[in-house]
A and B are shown apart, each in its own frame.
Chain A
Amino acid sequence: MAMRAAILRHIRLPARAQTLAAAAAAAAPRSWDRSPLGGSRAMSSHGDDHLAKEEVAERVLSVVKSFPKVDPATVTPDVHFQNDLGLDSLDNVEIVMALEEEFKLEIPDLEADKIDSCHLAIEYIYNHPMAG
């Protein structure tokens, strides 16, 4: 029993993920019905804790908008960090690092160098099993 409790403690979801999921559910009840990818998501094997694409997109955009050099009004899901927002490759690194913190991920260098737009960031994080 003690062993079981110890294991359960370790595999328990972080409190934040649960509250976020609960908040998202409260804010957008049955949002999957309206989502274009809804059907496939409902059948997903990832489980309930996996982030919905809308939520990923929203949080990615809010991270990018809060970047000091970025004019929030120009940020859309399609913007390219360097071509459209006038950022340089160092800013690009900073944004990807900020996304890591937002979603509690560690993105390896090889992947991080490829994430150069909101679109790619959303895709990458949405497909990442550990994003929370």
Chain B
Amino acid sequence: MGGANAPRRLSGMQKQVLALYRGFLRAARSKSPDDRRRVESIVSAEFRRGARQVDRKNFLYIEYLLRRGKKQLDQLRSPDTTALSSLNFIPPSQSVDSRK
């Protein structure tokens, strides 16, 4: 180890985000194959959008997204939930404004 292949250090917050992502992918496994694919594509798109658009120093907003994501994950884990249609993802700009 070492050199170019040295392990990347993840911040605590990054670890939380990755753990949440993992949680969503795990929860998706319990759905039917079709629902699983749908859930995975929505979740993946949403996390990638966050990674692209959210300033990595905007800790307050990221914490808010983490809290929101955990609630959505709890919903998804319920066996009755087959899709994420009930979860309306709010674009970051709007949701920030609405919290002020």
Which residues of A are interface residues toward B (Cβ below 8 A)? 80, 82-83, 88-90, 92-94, 97, 101, 109, 112-114, 116-117
Contact = CB atoms under 8 A, between A and B. Distances in A.
Given A83-B4, A116-B8, A90 B48 contact: yes
B14 interface: yes
B78 interface: no
Interface residues on B, range: 10 to 19
Contacts of B10: 89, 113
Given A83-B4, A93-B21, 10 more contacts: A82-B8, A89-B8, A89-B18, A90-B21, A90-B47, A93-B18, A94-B44, A97-B22, A109-B22, A116-B7
| Majority secondary structure of chain B interface residues (helix, strand, loop or mixed) | helix
B54 interface: no
Interface of B: 4-5, 7-8, 10, 14-15, 18-19, 21-22, 25-26, 29, 44, 47-48, 51
A18 to B, nearest CB: 24
B8 A88 contact: no
A114 B1 CA distance: 13
Contacts of A109: 15, 18-19, 22
A88 B17 CA distance: 13
19 contacts: A80-B5, A82-B8, A83-B4, A83-B5, A89-B8, A89-B18, A90-B21, A90-B47, A90-B48, A90-B51, A92-B18, A93-B25, A94-B25, A97-B22, A109-B22, A112-B22, A113-B10, A113-B18, A114-B7
